[in-house]
Structure 1
Amino acid sequence: MLYVNDQYIDQAWFADAGERLRARPALADCHRYRYAVCLSNTADWLAWLFLLRRERGGVLPLHGELPLAAARRAAQRAGCHWLIHGEHSERLAGGVTPAEGGELLQMSSGTTGEPKCIARSWSSIDRELDSYVSAFTEPASMTPVIACPVTHSYGLIAGLLVALKRGQQPVVIDNLNPKYLLRRLRELPAPLLYSSPAMLNTLCRLLPAGERLHAVMTSGTVLPGPWFEALRKASRHLFQQYGCSEAGCIAINPDVRAAVDIGLVLPHLSLVNAPEQDAPGELVVQGEDGVIHTRDLGWRRPDGMLVFVARLDDTINVAGLNVYPQEVEDVVMAMAAVHDAVVIRKADPFAGERVCLLFSADRPVSVAELRDWCQDRLARHQIPLEMHQLQLIPRQHNGKISRREVAARFEDGSLALALQEVS
């Protein structure tokens, strides 16, 4: 049925595990309840998932490393009736009855605001799986390798459930040592790697000269320019998918030539609007579950390809002119010494808002050097008025940057400046 690291686990094992779970008092009439499940053992978590999906219950997957108190808070925020944490089972006060037919609960990333609980019906996910498999046929003969959490929609739905829908035997990797992952990829026929941008960037640096990854799927955030170019050179097939917590996967690009080309809309959804290049707009999609506002700014090419511009919440208005952070970050990260960069907004008494750059580099970079670099490559209103060199740019485990969190930490002084700061 599937592998977890090097261990093969067949359907009979999951059937037996499901029968053992069904005997637990907590799972009586499970279609009436929401369960928060926090398990460090991947196979055990998947046994819960398969049972609750089959029995049409509600489930909130939680990362297995969450402490009990944090898992309890997440479960209560999501309206769960039961918390399963390792060997600990706990009946919670209150709880929200799951929608008829059961549901998968996911917490939004929180990159632009407080994380919120998103409930998606199993029937909605079934429609997504059918659409994904029928529209995206390139991986049909590949071996899915899921080196990202199967407690998150990307690894769980696009990685694991899509593979099972195709009749494939996915390989779930929870040993995220990059050297182990490379070894495992070399052992498998035509591997298709689902992973985070941060892990993909690490693998590119570790690959020996002349060796390439067979196929890669990226998702979650548009890759910084230098990361994208390195990944294109290091992979034979590069795919990208785009989505949001409310809708799941919205679009897939089966042959990525530019990092901002996020994909063709899957057939179970339609684009409500059709913004064009000279007038980008919010990407809004519609399906059987209604209209979903992505809060992403983009446009659609004549061939149907969606092009990402920025998060609406991230756009900086400098005296009436829009600055899209990714454009500035890509320019800065193309500078040889720079490792990472993030652009945040700050209030400005004259222009309304100003561009502030935080970056890390392998040596002290002077403000004059950085300004000279930017002036040759950016419009005047795009050039950061503030530049601060940090020891490290904080990224989430999936490689995303929460600008809101980074800005707050920078303002309160909790981010470590480099020894020689650019000011």
Structure 2
Amino acid sequence: MIRIDDRLYDEAYFSARSAELAAEIGLGAQDTGRYAVCFSETVDWLALFFAIRKAGASVLPIHPGTPYPAARKLAIGAGCDRLFYNSLTAEVLEPSDLLSAEGTLLQMSSGTTGAPKCVARNWTEIDAEIESYVATFREPEDMTPVVACPTTHSYGLICGILVALKRGQTPVIVNTANPKYLLKVLREIERPLLYSSPAILHTLARLTPAGEQIHATMTSGTLLPDPWFADIRAKSRFMFQQYGCSESGCIAINPDVTSAGDMGFVLPHLIAATGNTAEDAGEIVVSNGDGAPIHTRDLGYRRADGMLVFVSRLDDMINVSGLNVYPKDVEDAVMAMPAVTDAVAFRKADRFAGERVALLFSAEAPVAPQAVREWCSRHLASHQLPMEILQIDAVPRQANGKISRRDVAARHLAGEFNKPIAGAAS
């Protein structure tokens, strides 16, 4: 069974509806189609997903808020032969050389380190991930998963829904982004486990009254800024964290998060190689023992107890006159400043130092850049200090809560953020 907002759909409903949809769109018993699906209604999307998966075909889930031209571009980029855009009448696309006889879950990578690319994982790999996840991560067995993140993303679809169904649980899908409604849903469930984005979790933590806690929270997708982590940890009775990438799925899970950088213990179906201490941190490289190694482009290390610790994105690191600056160190320092609500540090070319740190931040009220600079000078080393500081309305984050520093740097270079906040000095 699956609950979507306030309505419960049982297994019989999905079986019947999936069979109807399979017949209506002509899914065969061993279908080799490559289908892109963008539906506004979650129940319709899931019913079609189950039908496509049962037929052994391939599916590209597209976020329901995606405009048609963008959805079509994604479908073509993923080599799909048909696009279902809020209709069971498919748009037939140009044939692609990406077609294969093996059914896969298709995903477009987030594009945080370059242009988004299509990642295909076959259903056997997905099943192995689910088996490993369920067998290893036992803490939520008596909890009800509440999925308040896109079900078109592997975090919500695999870890939130398919894992719950494997455990025999009834996942609760919440489609609205209204945090007050989400709090209401959480209060109605005896032991909820909330799967959501860091930004939503932080908002809920700030809205939750003093003395009240959310039973359990799961965070994923991006490293939490230390001030956000402290707020969420304080308002969560149990706090979990998982780490992964599009190519491999979930890599590690932390069953008791005490530090934002502690990603978790590597799932047993995978092998992860990296540094052994903070001093010799290296790229996290993942393998399932069969295919080619997956280079995550994440810098980290493995503690003696097996905990995988995240340090930084390799592509985000800023080299100032030969000295490495990790953006999170700068962001954490700035976000500890009163009134500052969010921040992103990124590289900017400099003719003397090669690269320098630039900073965008948001705050509850106008804050002079000089005040931020003075604050940073008391909390950061000289090479870490931002040379350019701009206050903006909101730091640009993707739907999954991630920040693409590459995108921010490009938009900054194009002058997009140069308009000053009313009342703020520039």
Q: Which residue of 1 aligns with 2:402?
A: 400
Deviation at 1:27, TM superposition (A): 2.2
* 1:159–1:25 CA distance, 2 compared to 1 (3 A): closer
Partner SS, residue 90 of structure 2: strand
Q: Which residue of 2 aligns with 1:333?
A: 335
Q: Which residue of 1 aligns with 2:253?
A: 252
Cα distance in 2, alignment partners of residues 195 and 15 from structure 1: 27
Which shows bigger deviation, 94-103 or 115-124? 94-103
Q: Which residue of 2 aligns with 1:212?
A: 213
Residue type of the alignment partner of 1:55: A
Residue type of the alignment partner of 1:376: R
Which shows bigger deviation, 196-205 or 270-279? 270-279
Q: Which residue of 2 aligns with 1:126?
A: 127
Q: Given the alignment of the two structures, is residue 68 of structure 1 paired with residue 71 of structure 2, yes or no?
A: no
Deviation at 1:26, TM superposition (A): 4.0
1:54-97 deviation digits (Å, cap 9, x = unpaired) = 11100000111222222111111100011111124111111346
**Cα-Cα RMSD:** 1.5
TM-score normalised according to structure 2 size = 0.96
Deviation at 1:183, TM superposition (A): 0.7
Deviation at 1:375, TM superposition (A): 2.1
Q: How many residues align?
A: 423
Residue type of the alignment partner of 2:67: P
On the 8 A contact 1:37/1:60 being kept in 2, the answer is yes
1:12-68 deviation digits (Å, cap 9, x = unpaired) = 111111221122244246621100011111111111111111111000001112222
Cα distance in 2, alignment partners of residues 354 and 68 from structure 1: 39
Q: Which residue of 1 aligns with 2:41?
A: 41
Deviation at 1:420, TM superposition (A): 4.9
**1:418 equivalent among 412, 416, 421:** 421
**1:344 equivalent among 334, 340, 346:** 346
Cα distance in 2, alignment partners of residues 399 and 134 from structure 1: 28
Partner SS, residue 43 of structure 1: helix
Runs of 4+ residues deviating >6 angstroms: none
Q: Which residue of 1 aligns with 2:154?
A: 153
On the 8 A contact 1:240/1:256 being kept in 2, the answer is yes
Question: Which runs of structure 2 are paired with 1:8-407 in the superposition (5 Å)?
Answer: 8-28=8-28, 31-87=31-87, 88-96=89-97, 98-287=99-288, 288-407=290-409
1:396-416 deviation digits (Å, cap 9, x = unpaired) = 222211112212222222224
Cα distance in 2, alignment partners of residues 199 and 255 from structure 1: 20
1:353-400 deviation digits (Å, cap 9, x = unpaired) = 111111122233334422332222211111112212223212122221
Q: Which residue of 2 aligns with 1:7?
A: 7
Partner SS, residue 395 of structure 2: coil
TM-score normalised according to structure 1 size = 0.97
Structure 2 stretches of 5 or more lacking a match? none
On the 8 A contact 2:275/2:300 being kept in 1, the answer is no
* 1:321–1:94 CA distance, 2 compared to 1 (3 A): same
Structure 1 stretches of 5 or more lacking a match? none
* 1:417–1:30 CA distance, 2 compared to 1 (3 A): farther
Cα distance in 2, alignment partners of residues 165 and 266 from structure 1: 17
Deviation at 1:421, TM superposition (A): 5.0
Partner SS, residue 404 of structure 1: helix
